[in-house]
Structure 1
Amino acid sequence: MSKPRVRRTNASVGAAIADARLRAGFSQAQLARRLNRPQSYVSKIETGVRDVGVREFVWIVQRIGENSLQLLEQLCRDDDFEDLDRRVKRGRF
């Protein structure tokens, strides 16, 4: 995966986490306290600066109180993954 592609994916994941956090009514600081992490940790994830693995994604979304599978399915339906589909079909994954 190229660097720009990774940044776009990180930004999409971060935006989904930010949306879930806002729906739950939490500030970044409140979520950070739930995660026992500094507020900057949440900020870096939400802005796509920090990469989030699957386990970490599930852990964060569960602490928000949302369904991680539903949120992941929504991410996979987003247009952001169309390029990945094309690359897989061409054997360039």
Structure 2
Amino acid sequence: MVWGVAEALGAAVGAGVALVAAPAVVAGLGFTAGGIAAGSIAAKMMSAAAIANGGGVAAGSTVAVLQSIGAAGFSLGAEVGLGSLGAAAGALVEKIAG
């Protein structure tokens, strides 16, 4: 498949949106650099995870991973993966709209 300028632009925009929006969504849920925000969705998720786990949040669980992202951002590997996903989504949107 040969990409045109419109598809390449759509892919670039999609990659940028994915890399910027995902951390913003995680922070919006309450997973912040300072910890889990009181009264947030993240706090409710942490409470449910702790109750289900006998008082602790398991390493590698959804809550733990999201808090790691909220505290430190995405790893380079995750950024590359999100960028690829965003690029594909942007190209698809451009193809549909095109």
Q: TM-score, normalised by structure 2?
A: 0.32
Query: Which entry has the higher C-alpha Rg, 1 or 2?
Result: 2
Q: TM-score, normalised by structure 1?
A: 0.33
Higher strand share: 2
